Structure formats: C-alpha cells, structure tokens
Amino acid sequence: MSRLEALEARVHLLEEGPHSTDSEAEAEEASGDNVAPNPQARPILKQRVKHEQPLGPGGLAAGNPAVTEFTTYTPYTPTELQELGRRYRQRPGEPVSAWLLRLWDEGADNIHCSPGEMQKLGFVTVHLSL
C-alpha cells in the first residue's frame, strides 16, 4: 500500500468516526495514536480528538456528535535538558539579538517546555536582565 493510499484510508476512517458503541481501543486505533512517535522530537506531545455519535432508533444518528480532545505531555529527561542548554546557550560576547536570531534559525521556537524545565534552562543566557 502506498503512502497516499494509507493516508486516504486513514482520512476515510476519521470521516466515518467511531460510534458510541465502539470500544476505546477501536477509537484509539482509528485516531492513529498507535503510531510510534519520532524519537528525535522531544518532548512528546500527543493530541487526539475522539468523536462519538450517539445512535437513536434504527441505528440512525441522534443529536450532535460529542467531541473530546486529549493531550499527553512526556517531559524532557535531565540529560536532554543539559543537551538543549549546551546547544542553545548564549556564547560569550554574543549580542542578545544575534543569539535570538541563531535560536530562531536553529528551530528553537519549536521546543516546548514546562515552567519547571524553563527554570532549569535559565543558565543559557549570559545577559543579566534575562
């Protein structure tokens, strides 16, 4: 099966959506949550939307579908935080504007951290006001 065919099959499954009689495992399988995350992308943020359509008499849709959203966050390990700090640390003598531009160019704007993780990364700048 080609990648396009797999994508079309997944879209078809999502358009049909699980019904209220489906089990949680079937809903998770239809949502694609059983796909392994990219190990390079940390922290792992998984988002899933579950649609449930209540069925009335005769198996016909009754009312509006219920939509539930789930988000799971897997935090960085201490080693990963140290590596982020080393990689994105402001270099001695590097102006703040040049440092921020370098961070942007290297994709640091896509890094998501919890407030506790941000405190642990506070050493990355040498600027006193930051």
Whether residue 51 has pLDDT greater than 80 = no
CA-CA-CA-CA dihedral for 22, 24, 25, 31, to nearest 10? 90
Whether residue 45 has pLDDT greater than 70 = no
Whole-number average pLDDT of the chain = 71
Tens digit of pLDDT for each residue in 95-125?
Answer: 888 988 998 898 888 787 778 888 888 777 7
Tens digit of pLDDT for each residue in 74-87?
Answer: 778 888 888 888 88
Q: Which residues contact 45 (CB under 8 A, 6 or more apart)?
A: 71, 72, 73, 74, 112
Whether residue 72 has pLDDT greater than 80 = no
Tens digit of pLDDT for each residue in 11-30?
Answer: 655 555 444 444 444 444 44
Count CB neighbours of 48 within 10 A: 14
What is residue 56's predicted lDDT score, i.e. its pLDDT? 77
| pTM for this predicted structure | 0.42
